[in-house]
Amino acid sequence: MPTTRDTRDRLATGLARLLRTGRHLGVHAVDSLSGDLPSYGFALLVPLERDGEQRCSALAAAAGIDVSVASRQVATLERAGHLERRPDPRDGRASLLRLTEAGAAALAAGRALRNDWAASSPAGWVEDDAVHLSVLVERLVDDMAVALRDPGRPVSTRVAP
């Protein structure tokens, strides 16, 4: 059964409030939650950690940003020692990027900071509620990504646990 208009309105309003609240955390909060990484560090380093070395264009696509922006951000992360590049053996004009030990350590430290912060918000929640919300948020993000890529394609029919 499709969602009702009232439910869709409530969801849209809740998401807008969530985004506003996130913006209000401000640059200082984002920087402190990223640890040694710039605020965009997670978006570019996590795909390297998860999928291994890749081209800047693949990282840009994974982060949802323009290649020129990713290139500047990659250069900053490279200077900081969080990633390194090597020539692509299949195409000498291109480079492959990979996560360094320092980059992996920065991701781990940033995750620890984020996890501590995230634990404070639902501190009074029971585990099942927090897991259920996590599953639903992941599903929503996945379905929104599908809707952005292919607006006519039906999205998830998964049922929450």
Q: How far is CA 84 from CA 38, 44, 80, 110, in A?
A: 16, 12, 10, 19
- The domain in which residue 57 lies consists of 20-114
Same domain, 86 and 38: yes
Q: What is the mean pLDDT of residues 9-17?
A: 88
14-47: pLDDT as tens digits:
888 887 776 666 555 556 655 667 778 888 999 9
Dist. CA 46–CA 25, nearest whole Å: 22
For the domain that residue 109 is a member of, what is the CATH number?
A: 1.10.10.10
Query: Residues 11, 17, 20, CA angle at the centre, nearest 5°?
Result: 140
Residue 105: pLDDT above 80? yes
Give the count of domains, the chain. 2
161: CB partners within 8 A, 6+ apart: 131, 132, 135
In a domain, 2, yes or no: no
Q: How far is CA 72 from CA 19, 56, 63, 98, 105, in A?
A: 26, 10, 13, 16, 22
Whole-structure pTM value:
0.64
Same domain, 105 and 148: no
